[in-house]
Structure 1
Amino acid sequence: MLESSFKLPGQTAFYKGKVRDVYTIEDRLMAMVVSDRISAFDVVLPRPIPFKGQVLNQVAAIMLEATKDIVPNWVKTTPLPNVTIGLKCETFPVEMVVRGNLTGHAWRTYKSGQRVLCGVTMPEGLKENDFFPTPIITPTTKAHEGHDEDISREEIIAQGLVSKEDYEQLEKYTLALFERGKEMAAKRGLILVDTKYEFGKIGDTIYVIDEIHTPDSSRYFYAEGYEENQKSGTQQKQLSKEFVREWLMANGFQGKDGQQVPEMTDEFVSSVSERYIELFENITGQKFVKEEVAAADAESRIIAALKSL
């Protein structure tokens, strides 16, 4: 599914994100359709990836169910493989990025000679992919369009984006969710390297929203061989969509003005789909079952689910 165009009873708003189509129902519920669109460098790529939406939605459902004892989450039901219906929350305008290892954006910052990221000082003497002494939180602003921007804890509070009390609670939830995610990953022979969480609020209650611990929002390494690879300077074998970013960079695209997205051949699209299915099975330990649902049937099933809530 590249995009959806449902007409749902009680629908009061519609928002099309980079990957998700979000329907607001009576200002109290949200029906989130996780499309097969794929984004990188905050750019939506021109071709969909078959079953990617199903992978993301089902991984998120499993992970949210496994962490609901830590923090309430927004999910009410998942009526379709790529659809979740849940509570509409007032969203905090920041994403809580948490990093256990010096990888990706953190490593590029470190390699440039900088030692402060989002107000957090990174210790000297680290190599790419080394563990931080303790996980660090490096928040970003949440942009509806364009690029998310790094921001510090102090700036978030000073600008009034999140109150000090709420932000401190978000930090606690973030670290607790990351710890649970690491424990779950370890049971699968994986290391949860970094991830991001989004939160919202209804009244005085904070909820974790959107997706968690998916291959789009997270990076995983295989635990087997990690130490040996660090000692030898070999790149870590990882589970994430980083391979898509690497392919784009190798073909001259990093989302900068004037750059063109390279051609996505049928072979490349198929290989990305297969990698997402591999990610699902490795992260969850479950066999992936491909499900295709016609648009008309999808709409009727969503409507039936909404009527039951």
Structure 2
Amino acid sequence: MKHLHSGKVRDLYETDDGLLLMVASDRISAFDHVLTPDIPDKGVILTKLSTWWFEQLADVVPNHLVAARDDGRSVVCRPLRMVPVECVARGYLAGSGLTDYRRTGEVSGVPLPPGLEEGSRLPEPIFTPSTKAPQGQHDEPITYEQVVAMVGEQTAAELRRITLAVYERGAEIARERGIIVADTKIELGWDSEGVLTLGDEVLTPDSSRFWPLDEWRPGRSQPSFDKQFVRDWLLSPESGWDRASGEAPPSLPEDVVARTRRRYVDAYERLTGLSFTA
């Protein structure tokens, strides 16, 4: 197979018959850095959870999956011509959306009511796209009007519709299982027939913020089942890392690695109702 690309987490290969093999590693990234060490079984969890979600979303949007392989961490998929936009939906205020709101009262150009706090539920889910930055650089929020300028009005409207539909279906299913999907990011591309299709991963702890429903309290940082736990450790005095220094983050301690893995496993088991086995 021909190696095509290595991203922060996944490696992509072209098969002899023109399909793609996507392999999810155990790498974890934060603040545009790939961290060390790896999180054991993370790639298997991401792959199994995405495969499960593709089934739940099959009537919402077509996906690129052809077959999952026996190793648990790789899938064969159809090639897509990817849209040059990160498609993000938010139902709650957190992360870069919170920063944007505090500065402007908006998120990606979408005005929000005054007085919202960290973790506040939004009046309705919103589409908050961003740029697709090269590896090592940071995605920047853009407005819907900028998306229209990039891909045209018809495609922009479809990106927004699909992104919100994926979020709303995912949030509904997750809430029944005691998890809030605060926000999520999806990748869309055109297949060989020109149909917008869901690619990469979907509704995983890498691409979404998952909060335990019974512990949700606006006005604070929320407990989570995603890599926010790693981000929080990196920004804590314990890590000794100055994000503004330009230096690479320190290695993750064993307990942070173990607790991060546990969060990923918990997310998988709560959402799917299945026991995780690597």
TM-score of the superposed pair, with normalisation by structure 2: 0.92
- Counterpart of 1:131, as a letter, is R
* Equivalence for 1:156: 147
CA displacement 1:206-242 (0-9 Å, x = unmatched): 101011110010112222243xx33xx4543322210
1:27, distance to aligned residue in structure 2 (A): 8.0
Identity of aligned residues (%): 38
TM superposition shift of 1:119: 1.6
Q: Give SS of 1:224's match.
A: helix
The correspondence of residues 85-96 of structure 1 with structure 2, limited to 5 A, is 85-96=76-87
Give 1:221's aligned residue.
211
TM-score (norm 1): 0.83
| Higher Cα Rg, which structure | 1
Q: Secondary structure at the match of 2:206?
A: coil
Equivalent residue, structure 1, for 2:261: 273
How many equivalent residue pairs? 273
For the residue of structure 2 that corresponds to 1:140, the secondary structure is coil
| 1:242 aligns to 2:228 (yes or no) | yes
Q: 1:201 aligns with which of 182, 190, 194?
A: 190
- Change in Cα spacing, 1:143 to 1:27, as seen in structure 2 (3 Å) is farther
**Structure 1: unaligned runs, 5 residues or longer:** 1-7, 291-309
Instruction: Provide the rounded CA distance (Å) in 2 between the counterparts of 1:154 and 1:235.
Output: 31
**Structure 1 residue 271, shift from structure 2 partner:** 2.7
Q: Residue 36 of structure 1 aligns with which residue?
A: 26
RMSD: 1.8
| Structure 1 CA distance for aligned equivalents of residues 93 and 53 of structure 2 | 24
Task: Give the equivalent residue in structure 2 for 1:302.
Answer: none
Kept after mapping to 2: 8 A contact 1:42/1:255? no
Out of 76, 79, 82, the position equivalent to 2:73 is: 82
Give 1:273 deviation, angstroms: 2.0
Q: How far has the Cα of 1:166 moved from its partner?
A: 1.1
Q: Output the amino acid matched with 1:83.
A: S
How much does 1:278 deviate?
A: 1.9
Q: Superposed, which structure 2 residues align to 1:183-194 within 5 Å?
A: 183-194=172-183
- Do 1:115 and 1:121's aligned partners in 2 also have CA atoms closer than 8 Å? yes
- 8 Å CA contact retained: 1:27, 1:88: no
Which segment is superposed worse, 119-128 or 46-55?
119-128
> CA deviation digits over 1:143-183, x for unaligned, max 9?
2322112111111222x3x1211111111111111111011
